[in-house]
Amino acid sequence: MSGTSLDGIDAVLARFDPAGRPTLLARAATAFPPALQAELLALNQSGPDELERAALAANSLAGLYAQVVQEVLRQAGVTPKQVSALGAHGQTVRHRPDRGFTVQLNAPALLAELTGISVIADFRSRDVAAGGQGAPLVPIFHAGIFPAPHTRVILNLGGIANITILRPNQPPIGFDTGPANVLMDMWCTRHTGRAFDQDGAWGASGQADAALLAAMLDAEPWFALPAPKSTGRDLFNRDWLERKLNAFQTGDGQTAAENDAFAQNVQATLRRLTVETVARAVQTYAADAKEVLVCGGGARNTALMADLQRTLACDVRTTDSEGIGTQDVEALAFAWLAWAHQQGIPAGNPAVTGARGMRILGAYWPA
């Protein structure tokens, strides 16, 4: 799995029982080398010679996927022949279900060649072809691994935040709520040179600005859309942030974009943006939730977690408390989607994505 944050790759090796319940055998992660990270980020927007650049970046990505795969195999003492398939999400560079497409850069044929393992990839496009959002695809997996004795919410804080609402004896619902880390990472990099705000400490020394937060929330119609909905860097990108900050006066004739003394306040406001949009989703769709279980890199942002706990009426804790590490949930979900593909199980979820029906997701590249 490599998600919108563009931080790197998370891999798990898992064994599934006939009911699709996973046992985690090994895990590994690797950060993107800066050059590949920069190129993947650049490919999120149109630019010169992008077909060739996309193909080359996809090959590099497959090379890195193969290295992480070798690492989990080494840890578990497992050979490629013992592995039935690799689920490889690819790197999303466009996500426009409204226009009928979603693009995950990937090189599954090369990955099969490099690893000697069959590859299942391109999980989202069939759901989009069936009129769905193609995202989030994880709620059905969450429903399987996090049994719901009462209403509970699973919150994944990746680049984008997505929630799953689980109720006893009811199918899961879920949707993207908006940015989780993507804007905070961008702003932190611009002001501190660091890829992300470790533990949220830099932003925690600023003050969230209520007027700036309101300007961000009110001026963005996407937030008010009803589910099903999904989003990505197509909307929440540098331009989006700069438009909001350029339009906001902080005094002395300066805007929020140019006032360096205001930078930590912007970061604190972006944290509030994540928390507010999640809280509104929980209030609207899951006011009866007893707890919110958080996974994804944002679970390690102490300030963000504390802010969530202050804002939400229910208990907030990480998926660690349920025996699944915060960094493993997404990768396990795509291993499960690969398993479901091989079993011929339609893992598409029309109630979540708005597709016309359940579809078998992904395509197969035999070893």
Ligand X SMILES: Nc1ncnc2c1ncn2[C@@H]1O[C@H](COP(=O)(O)OP(=O)(O)OP(=O)(O)O)[C@@H](O)[C@H]1O
Interface contacts to ligand X, rule CB under 6 A = 1, 3-5, 7, 156, 158-159, 181, 185, 196-200, 296-298, 300-301, 330
Residue nearest to Mg ion (CB): 3
Task: Quote the strand ranges of 32-123, DSSP E.
Answer: 86-88, 91-96, 101-105, 119-121
Q: What angle do CA 69, 144, 141 make, to 5 degrees?
A: 50
Q: Which residue has the tokens 């589910």?
A: 227
Q: Which is nearer to ligand X, 198 or 205 (CB)?
A: 198
Interacting residues with Mg ion between 202 and 221 (CB under 5 A):
none
* DSSP per position, 121-133: E--SHHHHHTTS-
Report d(CA 304, CA 302) in Å as an integer: 5
Start-to-end CA distance of the chain, whole Å, equals: 20
181 binds, among Mg ion, ligand X, none (CB under 5 to 8 A by kind): ligand X
Task: Please state the closest distance from residue 38 (CB atom) to ligand X, in A.
Answer: 15
Q: Which is nearer to ligand X, 206 or 259 (CB)?
A: 206
- Does 296 sit near Mg ion (CB under 5 A)? no
Task: Please state the closest distance from residue 30 (CB atom) to ligand X, in A.
Answer: 12
- Does 90 sit near Mg ion (CB under 5 A)? no
Task: Please state the closest distance from residue 47 (CB atom) to Mg ion, in A.
Answer: 23
Cβ 103 vs Cβ 51: under 8 Å = no
Give the range of 1-9, 122-130, 185-193, 357-365 binding Mg ion by CB under 5 A. Answer: 1-9
Q: Which is nearer to Mg ion, 122 or 328 (CB)?
A: 328
Task: Please state the closest distance from residue 122 (CB atom) to ligand X, in A.
Answer: 16
Cβ 137 vs Cβ 345: under 8 Å = no
Interacting residues with Mg ion between 6 and 45 (CB under 5 A):
7
Report d(CA 237, CA 233) in Å as an integer: 5
185 binds, among ligand X, Mg ion, none (CB under 5 to 8 A by kind): ligand X
Q: Which residues contact 325 (CB under 8 A, 6 or more apart)?
A: 27, 319
H helix and E strand count, the chain? 13, 14
How do strand 249-251 and strand 254-255 relate by DSSP bridges?
Answer: antiparallel
Report d(CA 268, CA 202) in Å as an integer: 8
Task: Please state the closest distance from residue 318 (CB atom) to ligand X, in A.
Answer: 12
267 binds, among Mg ion, ligand X, none (CB under 5 to 8 A by kind): none
Question: Distances from the Cα of 232 to the Cαs of 134, 160, 161, 235, in angstroms?
Answer: 12, 7, 10, 6
Q: Which is nearer to ligand X, 159 or 354 (CB)?
A: 159
Report d(CA 127, CA 87) in Å as an integer: 17
Q: Which residue has the tokens 């055998």?
A: 25
How do strand 160-166 and strand 173-179 relate by DSSP bridges?
Answer: antiparallel
- Does 132 sit near Mg ion (CB under 5 A)? no
Q: Which is nearer to ligand X, 124 or 248 (CB)?
A: 124
Q: Which is nearer to Mg ion, 5 or 353 (CB)?
A: 5
Q: Which is nearer to ligand X, 121 or 259 (CB)?
A: 121
How do strand 22-31 and strand 8-16 relate by DSSP bridges?
Answer: antiparallel
Q: Which residues contact 266 (CB under 8 A, 6 or more apart)?
A: 187, 206, 209, 212, 245, 256
- Does 159 sit near Mg ion (CB under 5 A)? no
Taking every pair of Cα atoms in the chain, the longest distance, rounded to a whole number of angstroms, is 66
Q: Which is nearer to ligand X, 178 or 248 (CB)?
A: 178
156 binds, among ligand X, Mg ion, none (CB under 5 to 8 A by kind): ligand X
Task: Please state the closest distance from residue 97 (CB atom) to ligand X, in A.
Answer: 16
Measuring CA to CA, which residue among 190, 30, 175, 160 is closest to residue 92? Answer: 160
- Does 354 sit near Mg ion (CB under 5 A)? no
Task: Please state the closest distance from residue 12 (CB atom) to ligand X, in A.
Answer: 13
Size of the site for Mg ion (CB under 5 A): 3
Task: Please state the closest distance from residue 89 (CB atom) to Mg ion, in A.
Answer: 10
- Does 185 sit near Mg ion (CB under 5 A)? no
- Does 330 sit near Mg ion (CB under 5 A)? no
328 binds, among ligand X, Mg ion, none (CB under 5 to 8 A by kind): none
Binding interface with Mg ion (CB under 5 A): 3, 5, 7
